[in-house]
């Protein structure tokens, strides 16, 4: 019987820790983000900015992958999180081939309208940064061969340039990914010039190019990855705009926005102040130097005078 | 004259000493990275001979090797292995302090360190097993190691290692996630016991039910954990949206609730199956005797069946606990928290040290849980036999 009593006590003890009564009135804004570095950075910026302007928040940052965060927002379990305009092409299957996605402003307009009509979700103004697929080349290869744009890169590879790429399965097969680059800039990778990995984690592709694993010197990256420059890589500019634009913007539930209409006013200047080099720099401080996302977000917002 | 034939050179010790020797010579001991994600420079122990701590470490390792090759006295083996292990830990800390000159520089243990750590731990475990300690003494020994380990961490000698820098950058969060990890594991265990024990007893009494229950639970066990978490999001989210009562209980589609439910589902199979097997193992003669003594059905269950089946049920609890500590890791992907948070953040930042900050405590917890429950199960079996 003693064992049973012990067991019961243990059960009650552990079960009681899950009771977290939430007060209905004065509900804080639940801020979430994806689990990656930039998600944590932008999510913290939203939390700090809202708090500095007297809007109470609840921190659900680094919640999970895109499908989880998106489901949680639509289900009303979270109120706001930063999402990329280009993901609209996947959220709304019917519109996935629309040319609008390849332009920052048009893509934002399109996803704003589609998401509001379908889910009553409001897209606030996006940062002027594009976190889309790009190719980055080791600088000791790019500099002697004068590679700055994808046009340069295409000509170099066609002329027998010794590029070896590491990229995700998805990027290599997805028509809008590598195939779009290859047809626009008229080059073709031979199978032995590619190392294909599963999963779109660019932290690993960048590391492989930096360490020259298996002779890799070109990596699939996202435009605002923090590790690109510290790893000694140079991004090839997509000078003919072949890729869908992924500009980060806060997405908020209309219901919450009605309670706190000031959110638009305070978050817009913060996101408009961000561009790709700035984001790369801030992401690098988190990823390369090991600073906390929250500290980096706070120091940026203070420098720019958004918070005190 | 030395009589070589008198030495019982056991193969295990020879293998351990061989691995230790090879790793000292052929594997890097420590890696120094100019920043968190750079490749870094590997240093072998032989390249670190300008450090006094290297000499102390090598000395301890030689003593350990000689003792293991020449002596079968468990006491000497235990002492030399323990000294070598603690010196190994302290020396990596001292070496880290020498090289971690700037805050951005990261010093991390390399393969030789981990191999030596593993070999010495195996050697220590082997010695303790040979001593055939009583279960309760084993717990005292475990407590001793936790205390000394905690002391080394607390002393600050390891503070310049990369993993400790990751820890100090998020100390409050670490303890918060540790608590959450334990809450999820133990919470799921208790709920699984509340459901699983009656279900097990019932399945034992009704053979037709047994097949269905066990087969269904086995089937559930094959669903990948992340898929199960994802599947639970929709119904739980719906439940939370429908009733404020569910919300007040902390039920929601994301966070701890789906993680807890998924874990309970995984935990049911070992509990139910072991309850059934445990009850099946009770000798019919004992049950007949109880019946003959005029015990009621409930009395027979509580006073005869369950106590006799308890050690087997406890083995089920051990499986659940060790498996659960590992499974909770994935909860971080649906906002459930736990040590998995650091694992997945670390993967996203290619920061091996941050991954380790999540992974090492998980391994440690699973190990501690296994030792405690093994001791518990053994002590109960012994009492049962004595009685």
Q: What is the pLDDT of residues B10-33, one digit of tens each?
A: 788 889 999 999 999 999 999 999
Instruction: Name which of B36, B233, B260 is nearest A290 (Cβ-Cβ).
Output: B36
Cα B91 to Cα B58: distance, rounded to the nearest angstrom: 10
Query: Which chain A residue's Cα is nearest to B41?
Result: A211
Helical pair B135-155 and B74-99, crossing angle rounded to 10 deg? 20
pTM for this prediction: 0.79
Residues of chain A with pLDDT under 50: 1, 12-13, 15-25
Residues 36-55 of chain A whose Cβ lies under 8 A from any Cβ of chain B:
36-37, 40
pLDDT of residue B249: 64
pLDDT of residue B287: 85
CB of A19 less than 8 A from some CB of B: yes
Residues in a beta bridge with B44: B28
Q: What is the mean pLDDT of residues B105-119?
A: 94
Contacts of A10 in chain B (CB under 8 A): 186, 190
Residue A69's closest CA among B253, B217, B44, B171?
B253
Structure tokens of B135?
Answer: 């279960």
Please tell me which residue, B1 or A56, carries the higher pLDDT value. A56
Instruction: Name which of A77, A287, A291 is nearest B37 (Cβ-Cβ).
Output: A287
Query: Which chain A residue's Cα is nearest to B173?
Result: A292
Structure tokens of A246?
Answer: 């992924």
Q: What is the mean pLDDT of residues B362-378?
A: 92
Q: What percent of chain B has pLDDT over 90?
A: 54
Contact check, Cβ <8 Å, B335/A72? yes
CB of A3 less than 8 A from some CB of B: yes
Contact check, Cβ <8 Å, A292/B344? no
Best B183, B243, B254, B369 residue to mutate vs chain A (most A CBs within 10 Å): B254
Contact check, Cβ <8 Å, B35/A289? yes
CB of A207 less than 8 A from some CB of B: yes
B201-242 pLDDT, tens digit per residue, is: 999 988 889 889 999 999 888 888 778 877 777 777 777 777
B297-331 pLDDT, tens digit per residue, is: 888 888 888 888 888 999 999 999 999 999 999 88
Cα A78 to Cα A58: distance, rounded to the nearest angstrom: 9
B45-76 pLDDT, tens digit per residue, is: 989 999 899 999 999 999 999 998 888 788 89
Contact check, Cβ <8 Å, B36/A7? no
C-beta of residue A166 within 8 angstroms of C-beta of residue A208:
yes
Contacts of B186 in chain A (CB under 8 A): 10, 14
- Phi, psi at A29, each rounded to 5°: -80, 125
CB pairs under 8 A between A and B: 132
Confidence band, pLDDT 50/70/90 cuts, at residue B81: very high
Instruction: Name which of B39, B170, B333 is nearest A68 (Cβ-Cβ).
Output: B333
Residues 219-238 of chain A whose Cβ lies under 8 A from any Cβ of chain B:
227, 230-231
Contacts of A204 in chain B (CB under 8 A): 350
pLDDT of residue A35: 85
* Chain-centre distance for alpha carbon A120: 22
Confidence band, pLDDT 50/70/90 cuts, at residue B253: confident
Instruction: Name which of B39, B244, B347 is nearest A211 (Cβ-Cβ).
Output: B39
Contacts 24+ apart (CB under 8 A), A291-294: A291/B169, A292/B169, A292/B170, A293/A37, A293/A40, A293/A41, A293/A43, A293/A44, A293/A61, A294/A44, A294/A48
Give the pairing type, strands B28-33 and B106-109. antiparallel
Residue matched to tokens 């061969």: A145
Query: Which chain A residue's Cα is nearest to B348?
Result: A36
Residues in a beta bridge with B358: none
- Phi, psi at A123, each rounded to 5°: -90, 120
Confidence band, pLDDT 50/70/90 cuts, at residue B250: low
pLDDT of residue B291: 85
Query: Which chain B residue's Cα is nearest to A211?
Result: B39
Residue matched to tokens 């590491």: A166
Q: Please provide the DSSP assignment of A103-172 as one string.
A: SHHHHHHHHHHHHHHHH-EEEPPPPB----EEEEEEHHHHTTTT--BHHHHHHHHHTT----EEEEHHHH
Task: Give how far A15 is from chain B: nearest CA, Å.
Answer: 6
CB of A211 less than 8 A from some CB of B: yes
Residue A17's closest CA among B257, B98, B234?
B257
A250-286 pLDDT, tens digit per residue, is: 999 999 999 999 999 999 999 999 999 999 999 999 9
Residue A252's closest CA among A271, A279, A233, A234?
A271
Cα B13 to Cα B78: distance, rounded to the nearest angstrom: 12
Q: Where is A249: in which H helix or E strand?
A: strand A248-253
Q: Tell me what ipTM this predicted complex has.
A: 0.72
pLDDT of residue B380: 79
């Amino acid at each position: 019987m003693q064992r049973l009593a012990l067991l019961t006590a243990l059960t009650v003890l552990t079960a009681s820790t899950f009771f977290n009564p939430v007060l209905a009135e004065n509900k804080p804004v639940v801020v979430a983000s994806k689990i990656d570095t930039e998600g944590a950075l932008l999510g913290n910026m939203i939390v700090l900015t809202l708090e500095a302007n007297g809007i109470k928040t609840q921190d659900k940052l680094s919640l999970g992958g895109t499908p989880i965060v998106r489901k949680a927002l639509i289900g009303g379990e979270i109120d706001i999180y930063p999402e990329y305009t280009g993901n609209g092409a996947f959220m709304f299957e019917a519109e996935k081939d629309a040319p609008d996605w390849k332009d920052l402003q048009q893509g934002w307009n399109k996803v704003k309208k589609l998401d509001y009509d379908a889910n009553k979700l409001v897209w606030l103004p996006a940062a002027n940064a594009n976190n889309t697929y790009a190719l980055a080349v080791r600088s000791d290869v790019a500099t002697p061969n004068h590679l700055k744009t994808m046009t340069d890169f295409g000509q170099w590879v066609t002329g027998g340039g010794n590029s070896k790429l590491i990229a995700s399965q998805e990027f290599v097969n997805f028509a809008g990914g590598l195939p779009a680059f290859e047809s626009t800039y008229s080059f073709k990778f031979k199978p032995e010039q590619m190392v294909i990995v599963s999963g779109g984690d660019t932290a690993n592709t960048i590391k492989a190019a930096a360490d020259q694993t298996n002779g890799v010197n070109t990596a699939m990256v996202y435009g605002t990855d923090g590790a690109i420059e510290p790893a000694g890589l140079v991004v090839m500019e997509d000078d003919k705009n072949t890729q869908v634009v992924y500009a980060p913007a806060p997405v908020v539930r209309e219901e919450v926005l009605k309670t706190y209409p000031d959110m638009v006013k305070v978050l817009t200047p913060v996101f408009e102040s961000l561009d790709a080099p700035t984001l790369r720099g801030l992401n690098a401080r988190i990823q390369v130097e090991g600073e906390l996302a929250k500290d980096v977000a706070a120091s940026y917002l203070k420098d720019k005078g958004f918070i005190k | 004259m030395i009589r070589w034939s008198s030495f019982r050179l056991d193969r295990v010790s020879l293998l351990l000493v061989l691995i230790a020797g090879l790793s000292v010579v052929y594997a890097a001991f420590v890696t120094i990275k100019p920043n968190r994600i750079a490749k870094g420079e590997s240093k072998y122990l032989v390249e670190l001979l300008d450090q006094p701590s290297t000499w102390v470490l090598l000395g301890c390792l030689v003593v350990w090797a000689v003792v293991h090759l020449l002596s079968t006295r468990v006491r000497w083996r235990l002492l030399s292995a323990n000294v070598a292990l603690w010196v190994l830990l302290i020396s990596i800390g001292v070496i880290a302090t020498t090289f971690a000159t700037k805050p951005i520089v990261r010093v991390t243990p390399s393969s030789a360190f981990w191999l030596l750590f593993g070999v010495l731990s195996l050697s220590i475990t082997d010695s303790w097993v040979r001593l055939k300690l009583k279960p309760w003494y084993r717990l005292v020994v475990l407590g001793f190691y936790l205390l000394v380990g905690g002391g080394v961490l607390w002393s600050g000698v390891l503070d310049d290692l990369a993993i400790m820098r990751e820890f100090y950058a998020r100390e409050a969060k670490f303890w918060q996630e540790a608590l959450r990890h334990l809450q999820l594991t133990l919470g799921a265990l208790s709920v699984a016991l509340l459901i699983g024990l009656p279900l097990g007893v019932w399945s034992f009494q009704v053979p037709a039910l047994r097949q269905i229950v066990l087969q269904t639970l086995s089937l559930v066990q094959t669903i990948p954990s992340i898929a199960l978490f994802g599947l639970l999001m929709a119904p739980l989210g719906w439940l939370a949206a429908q009733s404020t009562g569910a919300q007040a209980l902390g039920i929601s589609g994301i966070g701890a609730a789906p993680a807890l439910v998924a874990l309970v589902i995984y935990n049911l199979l070992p509990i139910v199956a072991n309850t059934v097997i445990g009850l099946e193992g009770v000798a019919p003669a004992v049950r007949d005797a109880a019946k003959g003594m005029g015990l009621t059905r409930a009395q027979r269950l509580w006073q005869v069946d369950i106590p006799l089946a308890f050690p087997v049920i406890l083995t089920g609890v051990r499986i659940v606990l060790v498996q659960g500590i590992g499974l909770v890791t994935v909860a971080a992907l649906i906002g459930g928290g736990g040590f998995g948070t650091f694992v997945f953040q670390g993967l996203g930042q290619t920061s091996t040290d941050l991954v380790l900050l999540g992974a090492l405590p998980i391994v440690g917890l699973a190990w501690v849980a296994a030792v405690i429950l093994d001791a518990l199960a053994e002590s109960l079996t012994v009492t049962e036999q004595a009685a």
